[in-house]
Every structure is written in structure tokens, then in C-alpha cells.
Structure 1
Amino acid sequence: MARRYDGRTTIFSPEGRLYQVEYAMEAISHAGMCIGILAEDGIVLAAEKKTTSKLLEQTHSNEKLYKLNDYMCVAVAGLTADANTLIHYCRNQAHGYSMSYNEPIPAEQLVQRMCDLKQGYTQYGGLRPFGVSFLYAGHDKHQGFQLYLSDPSGNYSGWKATCIGANTTNATALLKQDYVEGCSLKEAVSLAVKVLAKTMDSSSIGADKLEFATLSLGANGKVVYRPYTNADIEKLLNDENVKKIIEDKEKDA
């Protein structure tokens, strides 16, 4: 039945569904998981990398986490090519706002501009939705630290902790259980590691399969974006609780 209605983005099925948007959501559900956690003093973004190879130059390849400007970064799940196009658009919007008003664009306004573009691609014939979801971590003088999620339909929402990609049901349940409002950034990082360790499909977990980044305020009050190196991630994985989770998964495998 779907074949009669899924050829065009703009055609509704009898149930009121847009199949092309649902197909885009399905592509995202098979991507590596991304987690965002809002803390009192910052935000952590963590992601599972699907592409791992000893031949890949890790220092020059970002698969999941990207910096938009000095105040925002994103984690992506879905088609990387689509993500690159949207990230380029987002950076241009942020730069254009700064040039016009001589101040950084508010975080939610940048998210809204991105979502307006994404929604347009669900509205016109001859186009397809972008097959990517984003977690946005940002800071501005109006609302402080903020975490947003957007999907291919153009919807967005603010969160304290959330995830996108594969195994989101299990990860969301763990976040609901263990997230504490007002936690420190260090506690948020530890929670992100534990959730990834428990929910990743791979039985063996190493630094080459993960990406981490934090957004926090430095001593001078400026926003600091800090991507984690492999050595930093190895230190997180060497925590006793995390090592036990990984050992239990390897035994079950």
C-alpha cells in the first residue's frame, strides 16, 4: 500500500503519514548513537563511531561531532553527506548573524533557522528530507547552556538529556533512571560513558569507537569547546564501573 504514496514527499497516505519523512527517520535509527546531557556547568556530547579503521587518520576525521561556532557544537546521526550540507549552512547563518549584529546568534534561533530549511525539504515536490538528526549544544547570554534535538521533519525540542541513533529506547531508559538535574559536567560525562558502554552493539569498546566533546565556561567566562582525544577517552573507559560493564558485555557475547 505504501508504494502508492511514498514516491513524493508531499503526498499524504490515508493515515495522514508522510512516508519519505518516516524513511529518513528509519535511516537515522540505524546510525551510531549520540547522547547529549545538560549539566549545571556545561554540556557533554558523546557518540558511537561506526567507521573505524587502523588506516584512517583519526586526527583529521570527524564523523559525529562538529563545531558550529565559538558557542555551539552538534552531534549527528544519519547520513554524513546530508549532515555536512546542513552544518555548512548552519555555520554560514551563524557567521552572517555575527556580521550583521556584532554578537553571536542565540542558540535557539540558529536551531530554528536550521529546522526551517529541513522542513522546507518535506514540503516541495522533487526534494527529499535530509536523512539526519542533530543534537545541538549551545550557550548564549539569554538562556545559558541549552541542549536541543531536531529531526528530518523540521521539529525541534529542548532537553536535559536525550539521545538519537540506534538503541535509543534502552539509552533513554537509562538516562531517565540515572540522570540527576543540576549534576556537574564531570558527572554528566561519566553518565554518558556508562550509557554508551551498556547500549552499544559492539561487545568490545575502545577509544577508536567513541567521540566525546564538552561545552563549558572557562576561567575568563568564555565558552570553551573541548573535543576529547583518544587518550582522554581511554581514561574514561578505565573507570572501574565502566570496565565492569564492558567485561560483563564481553562475557555475554
Structure 2
Amino acid sequence: MARRYDSSTTTFSPEGRLHQVEYAIEAINNAGTSVGILARDGVVMASERKITSGLLAPAKTSEKTYKLCPHATCTVAGLTADANILIDQARLRAGRYAYQYQEPIPIENLVEHVCNYKQAYTQYGGLRPFGVAFLFAGYDETHGFQLYQSDPSGNYSGWKATVIGANNQAGKSLLKTEYGVKKETDGDEMKTDDPTGGEEIELPDLAEACRLAVKVLNKTMDGAVASPEKLELFTMSLDEEGNCVHKILNAKESGEIIAQVEAETQSAGDT
């Protein structure tokens, strides 16, 4: 039945589905895993590196993490060629906004622009959806550090911690149990319509978020042991002057975090 409706992006099936968009999402689910975690003092993003050949020369710049403007970055899961088009659109929008208004673009405004561009490719004939999902990390003075996820349909949503790419459901399950410290509120302040049951999540710091990101990748990498060559850790924080600092951890720094996670795992197993 689907064959009658999956040849066109703009044709709905009787169930109200756009099959080409679902195929694009499935392509992302087979891509390398990427994790985004919001911390008290910044944002951590970790990505799985797919090493296809030992003869392949390492990229001079990151293949997973891209700087959009001084206060915004994104991580890619899916087709890098498709991602390059959207990254150029995001950089162009950020530059034009700064030129027109003489201030940095709000993060959600930037994400919305990219997602509107993606949505157009699901609405007009002769086009196909972009086979790429993004995690956007950024900072603005109004809302502080923010983390957004978007998919090929043009949907986007804000998250405290999320996973895209292969085995993302397993990664999200781990984040639900490991992310933050849940503190119970006083009974007098507890609201009956509170979905968390009166619990508040305290955000981790950058170091804790880095360790949690490595734990998630360990769970989603199909039994492969995490190593500095197989993953990329990125942090965004503020310096003393309030400027955003983008940093991709080198092999030594990543190795130290991986060793800490392994030590915690072993100690937990001993108990």
C-alpha cells in the first residue's frame, strides 16, 4: 500500500503519513549517535565517529560539530552533504541578523529559520527531505544556555538532554535515569498537575555532563568500547568576560573522561 504514496514527498497516505519524511528519519536512525546534555554552566555534545577505513585521512576540522556563530553550534547525525546546505543557511541567517540589528540572534530564532527551510522541502513537489537531524546548542542573555533538536520534517523542540542517531531510544532511557539529581519539593508546594510528582531536576555541571555523555555512547555504540578515536566531545561555556567558548576536547582530555567513567562502572559493579 505504501508504494502508491512513497514516491512523492507531497502526497499523504490514507493514514495521514508522509512516507518520504519517515524514510529520511529512518536514515538518521542508522547514522552515528550524537548526545546533547544541558549543564548548569554550559552545554555538552558528544558524537560517535564512524571510522570507515584506516587509510582515510583525518579531517582538518570536525565532521560532526559545526560552529554557526560565536554563540551557537550544532551537531549532525545523518548525511553530511545535506547538513552542509543547512549549516550555510544558519550561518547566513545569523550574520544577516547581527548586521541588521547589531546584536546576536536569539537561539530559537536561528533554529526556527533552519527548520522552516527544512519544512519547505516536504511541501513542494520535485524535492526530497534533508536526510539529517541536528542538535543545536547556544547561549543568549534572555534564556541562557539552550539545547534544541530538529528532524527532517522541520519539527524542533527544546531539551535538557537528548540523543539522536543509532540506538537513540536506549540512550534516552539511560538519560531518564541518570540525568540530574531529583529533589522532592515540599508537600505544601507540590501541585497536583505536576507530571514529575513534585520533583525538580538539578542540572549537572560540565564535568558530570561529559561523563554522562560517555556513558550514553558506551550504551549506544553496539558493544564497542569507547575510545578517544571513536568519539568526539564538545563543550560550550562562558569565560570570565561572558563570551562563549567552544571547545572540542583533544584525545588526552577525552581519554581522562573515559577512564573516569570506566572507574565508576567498575566500582559500581564491585558494590
User: Is the pair's TM-score, using the shorter chain for normalization, greater than 0.5?
Assistant: yes
Which segment drifts farther, 185-194 or 204-213? 204-213
Confirm or deny: 8 A CA contact 2:214 2:226 kept in the other structure: no
2:240 matched residue in structure 1: 219
Alpha-carbon distance in 2 for matches of 1:129, 1:14? 20
Query: Unpaired segments of 5 or more residues in structure 2?
Result: 181-201
2:193 matched residue in structure 1: none
Confirm or deny: 8 A CA contact 2:38 2:209 kept in the other structure: yes
State the Cα distance separating 1:31 from its structure 2 match: 0.3
Alpha-carbon distance in 1 for matches of 2:42, 2:60? 25
1:207 matched residue in structure 2: 228
Could you say if the C-alpha distance between residues 242 and 73 of structure 1 is closer, same or farther in structure 2, counting changes exceeding 3 Å?
Answer: farther
Secondary structure of the corresponding residue to residue 229 of structure 2: helix
Identity %: 54
Could you say if the C-alpha distance between residues 185 and 204 of structure 1 is closer, same or farther in structure 2, counting changes exceeding 3 Å?
Answer: closer
Secondary structure of the corresponding residue to residue 43 of structure 1: strand
**Structure label with greater radius of gyration:** 2
Which segment drifts farther, 28-37 or 94-103? 94-103
State the Cα distance separating 1:200 from its structure 2 match: 0.9
Q: Aligned pair count?
A: 246
Alpha-carbon distance in 2 for matches of 1:190, 1:167? 19
Structure 1 runs of 4+ aligned residues shifted over 2 Å read 51-59, 202-205, 240-245
Which segment drifts farther, 39-48 or 233-242? 233-242
Per-residue CA deviations over 1:38-62 (Å, capped at 9, x if unaligned) read 0111000000011354444436042
Secondary structure of the corresponding residue to residue 234 of structure 2: strand
2:254 matched residue in structure 1: 233
1:68 matched residue in structure 2: 68
2:216 matched residue in structure 1: 195
Instruction: Give the counterpart letter for 1:124 in structure 2.
Output: Y
State the Cα distance separating 1:221 from its structure 2 match: 1.2
1:58 matched residue in structure 2: 58
Could you say if the C-alpha distance between residues 242 and 116 of structure 1 is closer, same or farther in structure 2, counting changes exceeding 3 Å?
Answer: farther
Spell out the pairing of 1:1-253 with structure 2 (5 A cutoff). 1-58=1-58, 60-180=60-180, 181-239=202-260, 241=262, 244=265
Instruction: Give the counterpart letter for 1:213 in structure 2.
Output: F
TM-score (norm 2): 0.87
Confirm or deny: 8 A CA contact 2:135 2:150 kept in the other structure: yes
State the Cα distance separating 1:36 from its structure 2 match: 0.2
Secondary structure of the corresponding residue to residue 123 of structure 2: coil
TM-score (norm 1): 0.93
Query: Unpaired segments of 5 or more residues in structure 1?
Result: 249-253
State the Cα distance separating 1:219 from its structure 2 match: 1.3
Please, what is the CA RMSD of the aligned residues?
1.6
State the Cα distance separating 1:202 from its structure 2 match: 4.7
State the Cα distance separating 1:227 from its structure 2 match: 1.1
State the Cα distance separating 1:231 from its structure 2 match: 2.0
